[in-house]
A and B are shown apart, each in its own frame.
Chain A
Amino acid sequence: DAKTTQPPSMDCAEGRAANLPCNHSTISGNEYVYWYRQIHSQGPQYIIHGLKNNETNEMASLIITEDRKSSTLILPHATLRDTAVYYCIVFSGSARQLTFGSGTQLTVLP
């Protein structure tokens, strides 16, 4: 699976959009981009995933660049409960495991 690079930490004001970047320059054509988050000492929580097109669900939006070498997770109106470590994972269907990197610690400030 391709490796990902994320900033170690980011701050965001409550109520504002949080934009979390991820670089995955070695991604291959059949690999998906997944985002999970982990609130302190809890199990990771699935957020969203995509292949080529931008995706949106009730939690977030995922913007993938046309060359697929990077993506951005957008939390449109961050709340204090969104404070967590966010993991960007690149995955192909043939690998039956999640490979977590270091993630980004997002802190939402009041």
Chain B
Amino acid sequence: KAGVTQTPRYLIKTRGQQVTLSCSPISGHRSVSWYQQTPGQGLQFLFEYFSETQRNKGNFPGRFSGRQFSNSRSEMNVSTLELGDSALYLCASGSGGPLLNEQFFGPGTRLTVL
């Protein structure tokens, strides 16, 4: 079956703008988690959505938000972009069970903020 897809793959924005990233999970998966990866901080958890509800949230400011649709597709939004938001944004798809081995990562969206 098809893997996790993320769009767009690359994005360039300027400070102060906002951006929306999209993630389509594996068919049948109901959980979508988002991670930010930067050279300085590594991979950090942003939030998880399950059945259209945010189930867990990491330690990021309110500028980072997300949502999940009834078809399990998820979007992540970052408002008032800062230079430090430049990162690889990854989403992970899972059935929603407690076992991490059910999480499958997409290829990521590379965001550059100028």
Which A residues have a C-beta under 8 Å from some C-beta of B?
32, 34, 41-46, 49, 87, 89, 91, 93-94, 96-102
Closest 8 CB pairs of A and B: A43-B105, A93-B98, A100-B43, A97-B45, A96-B56, A44-B105, A43-B90, A43-B106
- Interface assignment of B108: CB less than 8 Å from any CB of chain A: yes
Complex formed: what's the CA distance from A42 to B4 in Å?
A: 12
Which B residues have a C-beta under 8 Å from some C-beta of A?
4, 33, 35, 42-45, 48, 55-56, 58, 88, 90, 92, 98-101, 103-108, 110
Cross-chain contact B101 with A34 (CB below 8 angstroms): yes
Contact of A43 among B56, B101, B108 (CB under 8 A): B108
Say how far B104's CB is from chain A's closest CB, in angstroms: 7
Assuming the contacts A42-B108, A43-B4, A46-B103, asked whether A96 and B48 have C-beta atoms less than 8 A apart, the reply is yes
